Structure 1
Amino acid sequence: MSADKMRELMKAHSTCETNTDLQGTMNTLVENPVYEFHPARLRLEGREKVERFYREHFDSFFPLISSHEPVSECWDSHSACLEYDLRLRAPHDSQVYRIMVVLTREGQLLAGERFYVCEELARLMAGASFDEFVKF
């Protein structure tokens, strides 16, 4: 896969996320995706768990987002690294959250995501599914 094809895959994934299209988002992922929060070193593995994460993410976290602004991007044929500033609505509007996310692929699909965020934001992003993440 070329870097351009990786961009296309990322765009499809991002569009589905933006539209809170759960099935479309899941269709961009491998059968056994892995999601991680760093530096907390928390991992979530498996399609059912990741689907619950996205359901919670779309229902509870997306309504909190006020805006997000890209900071930087880095692409190659195997991965993407995106960094952006996120602003949330009250009562979480006292700061700007910097997020870095790394996505890698397996074959033609995404293997999962690694989020580099503070633990407070990780808890907000995961909502009720946060307790399903395990320490590694």
Structure 2
Amino acid sequence: MEPDAVLALAREHAAAEALGDADRTLATLCPNPVFEFFPSRLTIGGWDNIETFYREQYPRFATKVTGYEVLGEWTNDHTAIQEYQVEIAGDEGPETYRVMSMAPVSPEGKLAGERLYCDEGFIRHLLGPLFGLCQPLD
């Protein structure tokens, strides 16, 4: 896949997330997406888990986001990387997180999921009650 097409796919995914459009977001993903979190070395995957996340949990998470900024984007013919600063309304006040998202492309030409480099606090906000479904990476 050409780097411009990889970046366009990652941007489409992010735009659909920002709009809270679960169908559009899910349309950017392969049939068995996997999300991995580092340095926590946790993973959650499978269509059912990711669909539940985007239809039920992501709308709750989005209400906590008070701002975000794209700090940079990089791409090649098989992966897009996007760096964000995300501000979240935490229980004890505002919280700011730096997140690096690496989104590889599957053989089907969709995103295979995401590999997120972020603080565990961000993961807990993002996944909410689905955090318990995470498994340790081998």
TM-score (norm 1): 0.92
Report the equivalent of 2:52: 52
Q: Kindly, what percent of the aligned residue pairs are identical? A: 32
Write out aligned runs for 1:81-96 (5 A): 81-91=81-91, 93-96=93-96
Question: Deviation string for 1:28-79 (max 9, x for gaps)?
Answer: 1111100011111111121001111223442221001111112221111110
Report the equivalent of 1:120: 121
3-state secondary structure, aligned to 1:122: helix
Contact (CA 8 Å) 1:61, 1:127: kept in 2 or not? yes
Letter of the 2:11 counterpart: K
Contact (CA 8 Å) 1:84, 1:98: kept in 2 or not? yes
Structure 2: gaps spanning 5 or more residues: none
Report the equivalent of 2:20: 20
TM-score (norm 2): 0.91
Query: Alpha carbons of 1:105 and 1:57: their partners in 2 closer, same or farther (altered >3 Å)?
Result: same
2:68 and 2:4 map into 1 onto residues whose CA distance is 24
Structure 1: gaps spanning 5 or more residues: none
Q: CA RMSD in A?
A: 1.4
Letter of the 2:44 counterpart: L
